Each structure stands twice: as C-alpha cells, then as structure tokens.
Structure 1
Amino acid sequence: MRHVKPTSILQKTARIALGIFMVVAGTAHLTFQRKGFRAQVPDWVPVPKDFTVVSSGYVEIALGLALLFWKRERIPMGMFLGIFYMLVFPGNIAQYKNHRSALGLDTDDKRRTRLFFQPVLILGALWSTGALAEIQRKLKSRQNLLSSNQ
C-alpha cells in the first residue's frame, strides 16, 4: 500500500469543519429543515421528495462521520463527498429556476449566489482531504507515462 501524504493543519481543520457541517446538515434533513430541503428536490426525480431528502440526510451524516473519524480513508471520502456535492447541485439549480423559497433563500439573488458556492464545496471536499493532490499526482503520473511511451 502506498503512503499517503499527510495534509496540513489548515486542511485538517477544514476537513473537520466540513465533517461537522455535513453531520449537522444531514440531521437537519431528517428533522427541523426536512420540509425546506424538499423545495430543492427537482420535480424530475423519480422518487418521492421526502424519500430523497431523508436518504440524502443519511448519506450526509455518513460522509460527515467518515470525514471526522475514518482518517485512513480520507481521500476516497473526499472524492465521494465531491461527487455527492455534484449530484445534489441540480437541486440547487431547480430551487433557483422554480423560484422556491426555503432555507433562508427567499430571493432569486440569494438562490443564484448559492449556486456559486457549490463548486467551492466540491473543491473544499477534495482539497481538505488530500484528494485534490492525489488526483493531480495521478494525472501527472499518467501524463509522464504517456510522454515516455511516445
């Protein structure tokens, strides 16, 4: 097994903050913000909105706990979290397009501004876990392999 480069104190702090954020957000999906999160589920999702909200809440709690406690697998967890953020992004777009007020997003300007934070969350998940550095390392390795075969 290859040794994984440790992350910086700043990355570790960001990973812990993101883990706590995910556990709180997941808990909110299951409890006090459940109705608000339904407003983000696009109409084209083929399962009931409440099922989508509850399921994503459990996934968020699991990912948050993994970020906090499963340090050995932080890179795959960062990649999974980045993918999760990409998968829920259509919900943010649907909330904006359908002018649905929920979760404090009661104007189109607020809903549009939120759209710009999703890429920040994706990059934050990848950077804080060391997954971004691992992706860059693998891409560079492949590039070197391709150039040496030419």
Structure 2
Amino acid sequence: MPRRTGLTVRSVARGALALLLVGAGVGHLTWGRRGYRIVVPGWATRLLRTDKDAIVVASGAVEVVLGVALVALPRERGRVGAVIAAFFVAVFPGNVHQWRTGRSAPGLNTDRSRFIRLFLQIPLVAWAWWSTRAR
C-alpha cells in the first residue's frame, strides 16, 4: 500500500493542539501567571505541599513540554496524546473550583464563561485522544 504524505485532518488537529498547549503554557508562565493562581484550589496546595504560584508555573511548563513533544516526538504520538488527555482531566478540578468560587481569571470573567469552560474540557480530552491515535 502506498504511503500517504501531506497534511491530513488529524495532523492539522495535532498541530493546532500543540499550538494551543504551547500558547496556554506561555500564558501561565508570563502574562497570565498571577491571574491563574485563582484557579488553583486550596486543597491542591496542601496535597502537593507547595504554593499556588508553583502549581501555575508547573502546569505552564507541562503544557509547553507536551505541546513541543507532540510535534517533536512523532513515534511517541499516542503516548503523548494519552498524557495530554490525562493532563486535561487533571486540571478539571481547578476549573470547577474557579466556577464554584466565581473568581475571574484571564479570559474567564463572567459566571457564564466559567460555566461554559467546564464543558470545554470534554472536547479537549477528545481532541487530544483522537488527533494522536493511529488510524
């Protein structure tokens, strides 16, 4: 069977996901760093024995690394995709915390936007999973 070359819907979706992750990570590490501390629940700081800023920085660094890995490690694409999906699940409690407390963070300054954000986690997980699976 001849090998396919060129862009596919999956490869474009992976590239877009990589850009989203790197962009979000850079935001966590720079302009949004202070604002994203609001999303971190107090129990997370106790569980991880660190402060909110360290969690924001760590999550930003993880996002950047995952975005880069998605492009730089094509043979590990399936594993990287599974880790990205797990990461999206792992940060969901922060989104719930932000919605329940009604606190604004960059781009999420209304109750409606915070509520809608909760439901965006499902397509993010599906996007990571689908775009990184072999046919």
Shorter-chain TM-score above 0.5: yes
Counterpart position of 1:112 = 115
Matched, 1:10 2:9: yes
Contact kept in structure 2, 1:20 and 1:68, CA below 8 Å: no
Contact kept in structure 2, 1:19 and 1:63, CA below 8 Å: yes
**Matches of 1:66 and 1:43 in 2, distance apart?**
30
Counterpart position of 2:18 = 19
Aligned partner letter, 2:123: V
Matched, 1:103 2:110: no
**Matches of 1:43 and 1:79 in 2, distance apart?**
27
Aligned partner letter, 1:115: L
Deviation at 1:10, TM superposition (A): 0.5
- More deviation in 83-92 or 8-17? 8-17
Counterpart position of 1:34 = 33
**Matches of 1:40 and 1:76 in 2, distance apart?**
27
TM-score by length of 1: 0.80
**Per-residue Cα deviation, 1:73-124 (whole angstroms, up to 9, x for no partner):** 0000000000000000000000000001111211111100010000100000
**Matches of 1:124 and 1:79 in 2, distance apart?**
11
**Matches of 2:60 and 2:110 in 1, distance apart?**
25
TM-score by length of 2: 0.89
Runs (5+) with no aligned partner, structure 2: 1-6
Which aligned pairs between 1:1-150 and structure 2 lie closer than 5 A?
A: 9-45=8-44, 46=46, 47-130=50-133
User: Between the two proteins, what is the percent identity of the paired residues?
Assistant: 46
Q: Which has the larger radius of gyration?
A: 1
Runs (5+) with no aligned partner, structure 1: 1-7, 134-150
Q: CA RMSD in A?
A: 1.5
* Number of residue pairs aligned between Structure 1 and Structure 2: 126
**Matches of 2:71 and 2:35 in 1, distance apart?**
26
Deviation at 1:37, TM superposition (A): 1.1
